[in-house]
């Protein structure tokens, strides 16, 4: 099928990483604000079947090691192709690009991040035409309802800028459609396994009120995808019995998670970052991170490049969040989930959110309760935890009431010192998971001793400097 492609194409290349030192060029990514990939349904006479258009410099024209903007436009048509399928087809761009040797594709929509390796470039992968050929053949082979398809790669910054606003409007129109539907209104949820090549135990559960972490697949998208390809990467999940309405735990979701994660994930809370939080892959749009000093959550989106209020940038927290693990207090989320009334419902929702970048705060203004909006700090207000605590007290944030409740608890005995306090502390022992709620660890005496490096082979300590 791919005899004319100069590199190998296949499932074996899913999950490959192209490191910065090994890349020929980078397309999109966090350093460029305007980039996108989108699928649009067209009329048959609007498509030149099999056409691959390159608008701007091709790969061979790009300087080694540099960053370039990119827009990918896939246009499709067919008797059974409806606009409901646009998001579903669009998400497969991620999957198909990762089949190409040395071509790493991350994220989706307006967050795409692509790297081409030097090795594949030297083998002859010097044009977007090869990428387009792979995409067209795979779309035709796996989604035969597509009768005509054309692909455009846009690298001209002015052309990308001209399309960017329209592209964002299309995404917003899709997202808004699902906002009126409630989780209790449906019998089935949907799961997505597209990111398991990067995170084998990740189990993405898509409900009307909990978008996919990547922000690209709604409940309607999931229904459409499972309908046209029941054995594909997006599949139906029977809800089963509601085991915990507050946390959002369902027997059917637990069964599906256990099967799809090969037994690694047995329980899932859809509306909480504690206990058994939803797993995170790596394509999430943002992170909700717990700040124990104020018993609240910060929110940071992928595009925020500065350190957050806890001193850590998005990239560092992403490493702690991703990988298909259930990491309490580090929760991969989508922007659309932040617009949901079930957003971190069991943890207090926006009454527990204490910090987020100002751009994110303004973007979500109509979804954040009015009585909380002004009390949520941004990078313009505070730059440290002590400053954050002062800000929250001064603005009467609801989370302050939680501190007062803790202060009213029985006082410690003389000589007893608090050495650690947090909302929940998980302990794993003997095959059981024990969660200490509103935990406070105390000790009669705290001894702090410096740790001295151990000498290697009787010589100087590792890392010791010589005069």
Question: What are the tens digits of pLDDT across the range 234-276?
Answer: 999 999 999 999 999 999 999 999 999 989 999 999 999 999 9
Please provide the distance, in angstroms rounded to a whole number, between the alpha carbons at the two ends of the chain: 64
Which of 61-65, 66-70, 113-117, 437-441 is least confident? Answer: 437-441
pLDDT above 50 (res 467): no
The average confidence (pLDDT) of the chain is: 87
Which whole number is the average pLDDT over 50-54? 98
CA dihedral 342, 38, 139, 261 (to 10 degrees): -30
Q: What number of CA atoms fall less than 13 Å from residue 462's CA on the CB side?
A: 5
pLDDT at 409: 52
Query: Worst-scoring range by mean pLDDT, 78-82, 96-100, 159-163?
Result: 78-82
Which of the residue ranges 115-129, 241-255, 297-311, 450-464 would you say has the lowest mean pLDDT? 450-464
pLDDT for 443 beyond 90: no
Which pLDDT belongs to residue 379? 97
Report the run of H or E that residue 113 belongs to, with start and end: strand 113-117
**pTM of the prediction?**
0.72
Residue 407, Cβ neighbours under 10 Å: how many? 8
Whole-number Cα distances in Å, 293 to 158, 234, 399, 411: 46, 39, 11, 19
CA distance linking residue 454 with residue 270, whole number of Å: 46
**Using CA atoms, how far apart are residues 15 and 199, in angstroms rounded to an integer?**
8
**What is the helix (H) or strand (E) element at residue 406, kind and residue range?**
helix 399-407
**Is residue 134 scored above 70 in pLDDT?**
yes
SS3 call for 66: strand
Beta bridge partners of 421: 440
- Which band of pLDDT confidence, cut at 50, 70 and 90, is reported for residue 75? very high
The number of helix segments (H) and strand segments (E) in the chain equals 11, 19
Q: How far apart are CA 171 and CA 341, in angstroms?
A: 20
Spatial neighbors of 449 by CB under 8 A, at least 6 apart, are none
Q: What is the pLDDT of residue 306?
A: 93
User: What pLDDT is stored for residue 438 in this prediction?
Assistant: 52
56 and 154 Cβ atoms separated by less than 8 Å: yes
């Amino acid at each position: 099928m791919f005899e004319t492609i100069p590199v190998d194409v296949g499932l074996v290349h899913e999950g490959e990483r192209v490191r910065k030192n090994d890349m020929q060029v980078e397309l999109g990514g966090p350093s460029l604000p305007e980039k996108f990939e989108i699928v649009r349904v067209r009329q048959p006479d609007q498509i030149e079947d099999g056409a691959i258009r390159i608008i701007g410099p091709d790969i061979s024209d790009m300087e080694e090691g540099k960053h370039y903007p990119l827009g990918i436009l896939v246009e499709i048509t067919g008797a059974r192709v409806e606009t409901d399928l646009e998001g579903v087809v669009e998400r497969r761009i991620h999957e198909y690009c990762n089949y190409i040797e040395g071509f790493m594709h991350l994220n989706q929509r307006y967050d795409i991040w692509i790297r081409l390796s030097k090795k594949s470039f030297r083998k002859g992968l010097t044009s977007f035409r090869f990428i387009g050929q792979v995409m067209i053949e795979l779309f035709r082979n796996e989604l035969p309802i597509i009768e005509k398809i054309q692909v455009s790669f846009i690298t001209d910054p002015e052309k990308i800028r001209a399309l960017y606003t329209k592209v964002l409007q299309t995404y917003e129109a899709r997202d808004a459609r699902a906002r009126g539907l409630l989780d209790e209104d449906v019998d089935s949820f949907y799961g997505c396994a597209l990111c398991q090549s990067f995170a084998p135990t990740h189990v993405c559960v898509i409900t009307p009120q909990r978008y996919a972490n990547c922000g690209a697949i709604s409940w309607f998208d999931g229904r459409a995808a499972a309908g046209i390809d029941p054995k594909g990467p997006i599949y139906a999940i029977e809800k089963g019995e509601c085991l915990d309405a507050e946390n959002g735990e369902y027997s059917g979701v637990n069964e599906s998670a256990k099967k799809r994660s090969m037994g690694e994930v047995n329980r899932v809370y859809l509306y909480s970052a504690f206990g058994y939080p939803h797993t995170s892959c790596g394509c999430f749009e943002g992170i909700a991170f717990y700040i124990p000093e104020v018993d609240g959550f910060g929110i940071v989106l992928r595009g925020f490049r500065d350190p957050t209020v806890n001193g850590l940038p998005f990239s560092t927290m992403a490493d702690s969040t991703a990988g298909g693990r259930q990491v309490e207090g580090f929760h991969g989320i989508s922007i659309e989930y932040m617009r949901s009334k079930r957003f971190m419902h069991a943890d207090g929702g926006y009454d527990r959110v204490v910090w987020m970048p100002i751009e994110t705060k303004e973007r979500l203004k109509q979804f954040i309760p009015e009585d909380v909006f002004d009390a949520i700090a941004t990078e313009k207000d505070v730059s440290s935890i002590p400053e954050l605590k002062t800000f929250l007290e001064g603005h009467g944030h609801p989370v302050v009431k939680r501190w007062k409740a803790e202060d009213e608890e029985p006082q410690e005995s003389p000589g007893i010192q608090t050495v650690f306090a947090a909302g929940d502390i998980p302990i794993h022992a003997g095959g059981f998971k024990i969660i200490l709620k509103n935990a406070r660890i105390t000790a009669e005496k705290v001894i702090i001793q410096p740790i001295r490096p151990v000498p290697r082979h009787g010589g100087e300590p590792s890392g010791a400097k010589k005069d």
